[in-house]
Structure 1
Amino acid sequence: MTVPVRRTSFVNRSRYGFDLRSTALFFVFLAVVVCALGLAARVAAGAVERRPAWVFVLVAIAVAGCLGLRRRWRLAGVARRAAAALDEAAREAAEVLDAPADPAQSVPAPVSATATAPTTPIAVAAVDYDALTPEGFEEAIAGLCERDGCTEVEVVGGAGDLGADVMAVTPDGRRAVIQCKQYGESNRVGSQDLQRFGGTCFSVHEADVAVLVTTSDFTAPALEYAEQCGIVCVNREGLEAWTDGSGPRPWGAAPEDGTAGWEAAGSGC
C-alpha cells in the first residue's frame, strides 16, 4: 500500500526571518536618539547652572514629552517641539545674560559735547593746598578746570612731562597747558622756572594759553619774562580767588594784584 507523502506547508520567511538591514538601521536610529538626548541633557544642565529658574522650563518640556509619548505622538513631532522649545529657551537665556544685572550699574548716557559751559565760576569750599602731595596738587588744579567747563582735562605731570602738568581745552576751544609749582611761602617762582616752562609750552605742547600756578608768589624778573612771552602767572592769592569763585579763571584773567594774565597768549619765547 502506498503511503502518501505529507507536504510541509510553506512558511513566509520574509515575515518571521532575521533581517540584518532592518536591525542595523534600528540600532543606528537608536544611537542617534541617545546622542540627541545626551546633547539635550547637557544643554539643559548648562542652562540650569546659569539660571536655576530655567529648571521649571525644562521640567515642563519633559512633562510635555512624556504626555506626548503616552498619547502615541510621533517621535519626530516630539523632537521638533522639544528642539523649538530649547531653542527659544536658549535665546531668552542669552538675552537675560546680556542684560545688565543691576540697572544702577548701567553705563550713564554720555554728556552732550554741545552742552553749555558755566559762564561764571562755581564757588567751592577752601582747599588746603599746602597739605596736598605734589600729585594731589596737580589733581586739584585739574579739578578746577573741569569745574569751570574745560573739556579733555588730563593730568600729565611726571618724569618727561616737559613742563606740562595739566592739559585741557577751555570752554571757548583753546588749548590750555598748565604747570603747577607747589612752593612754600618763602620760595618764590623765579625767572629760570618761567624760562624752562616758556621753552616748551608753546613750541612743544602747542599751547594757546600757557599758565603757571603756584602756592607762593613770583619774583619780579619772572613776571617780566612771563609778560614778554605771554604766560599767565597765578600766585597764591589768585589761586585762592580762582578756587572760591571770587576771581577770574586763568584763561580769562586780567593783570591785577600780583597776578599777571592775558586773554591771548603771546608767540612764545
Structure 2
Amino acid sequence: MYFGLLATVLVVGGLAVRALAGVVERRPAWFAVLLCLCLAPALARGLRRRRRPSAARLARRAGQALEGATATALDALDTPPPTPPEPVVPAPRRAPDAPAAAEDAAVTDSHEYDALSPEEFEEAIAALCVRDGCTQVQVVGGAGDLGADVLALTPEGRRLVVQCKRYRHHNGENGDVDSSDSSGNGGNKVGSQDLQRFGGTCFTVHEADVALVVTTSGFTAPAEEYAAQCGIVCVDREALLAWGEGTAPPPWTAGADGVDA
C-alpha cells in the first residue's frame, strides 16, 4: 500500500509539473502573476518577523552607548587635570661647523686654561664668542689654517678672525720664543714672529674686520708694537681671564677702535 501511494503521488506530481510547464510555455505572464500572488504572503510574514528583532537590536545598542558614555564621564571626573609642561629654556646657539663640545668648553679659571690642550683651548675661545653673541662660530685650527683658529661674525656683523696661543704661563721673564710650551720647560710669550705670520694672512686671506690673538701667556714688546701698527688686538692672560669672567667687554669691541686689549 505504501509503495502504491508513493507511486501515485509521483505520477500525479509528474503530471502536475508537466501541465505547469506547458502553462508556463504558453502563458508565461500568467505564471509570473500567480507566482507573485503565492509569494507575497510569505514575504509579508518574513518582513514582519525581521522588523521586531531590528527594533530590539536598536534599543540594545542605544543602551550600550548610553552606558559607555556614562562610564567615560565618570572616568573624566576621577582623572586629575594634567600638569602644565615646564617652560623649555633654549640652548645656546652654536654654528653648524663648530664642535658640540665648544658650548661647554668655556672656562674662567687660569689653571683650567693651562690644563687644556691646544685644540680644547680653541674650543674654549669659540665658546666665549658664542656666549657673547657671535654667530657662525667655527673652529678651523689645524694644518693649513693659515693662522686662523676660530672664525665668527660679531653681533654687529663684522668678520672676526682669532688665533689661539695656549702657551704655558710663567711668572718670571720669558724670552721671545716662537713655540708652544705645553710640556717643555718654563713659559713662553707670544713673539713678533707669531704676530707677523698672523698679520700676513688675517686681513688679506681671511678678510678679517677684527683680528685677535688670544694667549694664556703674554706678548713681547716687539709683538705688541707690531700688533698696534697692524690693528691686531692682543688678548693676554689677564685680559683673557677678565673676558671669561665677564668683568671686561668682549675684545672685538676694542678692535672696533683699533685699541689693544
TM-score in terms of structure 2 length: 0.51
1:236 aligns with 2:237: yes
Q: 1:136 to 1:110 in 2, by over 3 A?
A: closer
- Who wins on radius of gyration, i.e. which is larger? 2
Task: Write out the 4+ residue segments of structure 1 that deviate beyond 4 Å after TM superposition.
Answer: 108-111
1:126 aligns with 2:109: yes
Aligned length: 156
Segments of 5+ residues of structure 1 without an aligned counterpart are: 1-107, 112-122, 254-261
Helix, strand or coil at the partner of 1:188: coil
Indicate if the aligned counterparts of 2:162 and 2:212 stay in contact, CA closer than 8 A: yes
TM-score in terms of structure 1 length: 0.50
Segments of 5+ residues of structure 2 without an aligned counterpart are: 1-89, 94-105, 170-186
Describe how 1:109-258 pairs up with structure 2 within 5 A: 126=109, 128-185=112-169, 186-253=187-254
Indicate if the aligned counterparts of 1:230 and 1:264 stay in contact, CA closer than 8 A: no
Identical residues among aligned pairs (%): 71
Which amino acid letter does the alignment assign opposite residue 144 of structure 2? G
Indicate if the aligned counterparts of 1:152 and 1:169 stay in contact, CA closer than 8 A: yes
Helix, strand or coil at the partner of 1:179: strand
Helix, strand or coil at the partner of 1:210: strand
Which amino acid letter does the alignment assign opposite residue 151 of structure 1? T
Counterpart CA distance in 2 for 1:135 and 1:110 is 21
Cα deviation, residue 126, structure 1 = 3.4
Indicate if the aligned counterparts of 2:219 and 2:236 stay in contact, CA closer than 8 A: yes
Cα deviation, residue 124, structure 1 = 7.5
Indicate if the aligned counterparts of 2:107 and 2:113 stay in contact, CA closer than 8 A: no
Residue by residue over 1:166-185, the C-alpha shift from the partner in whole angstroms, topping out at 9 and shown as x without a partner, is 01100111000000000012
Residue by residue over 1:49-72, the C-alpha shift from the partner in whole angstroms, topping out at 9 and shown as x without a partner, is xxxxxxxxxxxxxxxxxxxxxxxx
Helix, strand or coil at the partner of 1:168: strand
RMSD: 3.5
Q: 1:156 to 1:147 in 2, by over 3 A?
A: same
Which amino acid letter does the alignment assign opposite residue 256 of structure 2? E
Q: 1:135 to 1:241 in 2, by over 3 A?
A: same
More helix as a share of residues: 2
Indicate if the aligned counterparts of 1:208 and 1:264 stay in contact, CA closer than 8 A: no
Helix, strand or coil at the partner of 2:188: coil
Indicate if the aligned counterparts of 1:191 and 1:225 stay in contact, CA closer than 8 A: yes
Q: 1:213 to 1:170 in 2, by over 3 A?
A: same
